[in-house]
Structure 1
Amino acid sequence: MQDIQNRDDIEQMVNSFYAKVQKDEFIGPIFNEKIQDRWEMHLEKMYGFWQTVLLDVHAYSGSPFPPHAQLPINKEHFDRWMEIFTKNIDEQFAGPIADEAKWRAGKMAEMFNYKIEYFRNANQKPLT
């Protein structure tokens, strides 16, 4: 099995992951409701995000947190997202960049969950 090396690998990783997410009984409805018919646009954004994060190709600008801030999600949703993400990577890739993808996804899920809980508990809306 090879490591994540280029844009084609990023596209494969992202497409296969979100195909699983869309069909997942637990988190699929949340993603499908939020994204609706804009999947192509979302996937393009994710290609750029992961290229920037993993391959040091500056293909994404923006803040990934605000679109998630108002979603009806909690730690169990992030846990399921990570379960699907990790399994998806492990099925297709092996190496330091694949490991980095899993590590960064875990840190992002942890941070997003923390921020969402913080704003809920403070009864405040996050800055967008």
Structure 2
Amino acid sequence: MADISIVSAAYEHKATNAGITEAEIRRLIPAFYARVRRDPMLGPVFDGIIDDRWPAHIETVISFWLYVIRLDRSYNARNFIPAHIKHATIRADLIPQWLALFRETAQDLCPADSATVLVDIAQRMASSLEISLNKRDGDAQ
């Protein structure tokens, strides 16, 4: 299982150099999840898991991102993989669509340097999550 603190340490300077701020993350994440909810593939999966807890989920994801780029240390990074693999409806084949929507949202809302760093982090997290999901589902390669 990937250690998110390693990812966090590796990206701290890139996020700082790109000028990523908490305000930027607080704009990006709600906009991204608004797109996720409208997506015909991802929307039903997320709505089925999150139900009426969207505000709390968005705050958790914001805390996660602030942790990864080292603007805040309140997120418990050990929860990242378990929070996803415990839901059978979250599958590895959904990750490309999730990444496409994240990339699109970041590029639409963030300065180019910030978007590049955030998408790179998202791709690395998605790779770690994909490995864990494939192991859970018996598809490890």
TM-score, normalised to structure 1's length? 0.84
User: How far did 1:55 drift?
Assistant: 4.3
Give the deviation of 1:83 after TM superposition: 0.3
**Aligned-pair identity (%):** 23
Q: Is the 8 A contact 1:54 1:100 kept in 2?
A: no
Aligned to 1:125: none
Q: Name the structure 1 match of 2:84.
A: 68
Q: 1:28 aligns with which of 43, 65, 68?
A: 43
2:104 pairs, out of 87, 97, 101, with 87
1:48-63 alignment, distance < 5 Å: 48-62=63-77, 63=79
Local SS of the residue matching 1:37: coil
Distance in 1 separating the partners of 2:76 and 2:116: 23
Distance 1:56 1:7, change over 3 A: closer
1:78–1:113 CA contact under 8 A, matched in 2: yes
TM-score when scaled to structure 2?
A: 0.77
CA displacement 1:58-103 (0-9 Å, x = unmatched): 1312421112103323333100000000000000112433222101
Unpaired segments of 5 or more residues in structure 1? 123-128
- Whether contact under 8 Å (2:35, 2:101) holds in the other structure is yes
Greater share of residues in helix:
2
- 1:9-29 per-position Cα deviation (integer Å, ceiling 9, x unaligned): 111100100000011000110
> What number of residue pairs does the alignment pair up?
120
Match of 1:46 among 49, 61, 67: 61
Name the structure 2 match of 1:110: 127
